[in-house]
Structure 1
């Protein structure tokens, strides 16, 4: 239990810093954005935004930063993502991929070898990503090494998740959907830990994105532009 004890000790500092920050959100939340992150321990989901305000960001996470789930009604936008858009007045959804994503790597291996040696729960997740990444693989440039291929597919996966949100009738009209990549492997030009904007409302062309969103221009960067 040493690890849990250490985590709880860390919570002491959180308590001291945050004790007065819940006054306005104890009974209601109106988050400005919902983020869909990969549940990777290296992806610091609130810290990456410099967020220290409860109620500002509604954070969802799963392996592969997927926005969909399978139900008896078919594949639908996950309730985790949909809830703040439907019930809390949130009008911005941000899909957050990251360099070197293990889920994307596992899906790439499953596609290229047709072998998945994973427990059922992980196979289920790979099964949700596979139909999204298969078309991406077909369009990637030839001669890419494994690491570059995976990072190209990370970007493509973000695009596909953005598209799923934009095409869903369950997502309220007027919702802005953005896609970003969190980089800690030097996959982009920039500092480790930077977020790079790769997609806004389906637009992927960096020059168009910079023109339409000059306030984001310094963070717009793509590996794959097709």
Structure 2
């Protein structure tokens, strides 16, 4: 057994000791306040990013590319892991969390420009993003360096995931859908680990969003207004 897993178990000891008495209210069910859809990237601390230490507060979905889409019988539908809390636990806030330097977005960019060769499982996941990012790749300013192009596409991908949820008949109109980018590479103004709001219910203009949500105006920022 590798030492890393032994250290993980030691960390779980600390966790169990701290949270032993915090599951009483949620042992028989859950009603999370929000569902977050984050990238599986190990640098994205999905729950910790929100300061969450309360069982039952957030329903956390994680996959490469922070996707809300899956294919069923050839049709693109809202992924079941995203839809479950909305359909069954009364959750009415969905947050799509992209991140700077996203590997899945990078792979999609490469697939749309130079081609991509990956194992089938990775190709499938990237393939779910390809049709939604194609127009974004085509619209990128030509003078952008590669890493900047990727971060522009990170926002574009968040926008497309928000759009897909909003357009799905499975998502009630009462559900708020917010798109953010988690930055640990100094791309945005702010501290490493901050999330920056780029989309609220389909609105992407930072000035409009700041006027509509003044309480969070300092967290609203985009790299690409297209």
Shorter chain as normaliser: what TM range? Answer: over 0.9
- 1:21-170 → structure 2 map (5 Å cutoff): 21-72=22-73, 74-113=75-114, 115-170=115-170
- For the residues of structure 2 that align with 1:178 and 1:110, how far apart are their CA atoms? 27
5+ residue gaps, structure 1: none
Instruction: Return 208-217 or 87-96, whichever deviates more.
Output: 208-217
Shift of 1:142: 2.2
RMSD: 0.8
Whole-angstrom CA distance in 2 between matches of 1:93 and 1:44: 17
Contact 2:112 2:137 in 1 (8 A): no
| 1:111-136 per-position Cα deviation (integer Å, ceiling 9, x unaligned) | 001x2210000000111111111101
What SS does the corresponding residue of 1:24 show, helix, strand or coil?
helix
Matched with 1:225 is: 225
Deviations 1:35-68 (A, max 9, x none): 0000000000000000000000000011000001
Using the alignment, how far apart are the partners of 1:101 and 1:84 within structure 2?
Answer: 26
**Distance verdict in 2 for CA 1:52–1:81, change over 3 Å:** same
> What TM-score does the superposition give when structure 2 sets the normalisation length?
0.98
CA–CA distance in structure 1, aligned partners of residues 5 and 218 of structure 2: 40
Superposed displacement of residue 73, structure 1: 5.7
| Partner in structure 2 of residue 4 of structure 1 | 5
Deviation at 1:173, TM superposition (A): 2.4
- Name the structure 1 match of 2:181: 181
Contact 1:184 1:194 in 2 (8 A): yes
Aligned residues: 225
SS for the counterpart of 1:51 is: coil
Show CA shifts across 1:143-167 (max 9, x none): 0000000000001000000000000
Contact 2:101 2:151 in 1 (8 A): yes
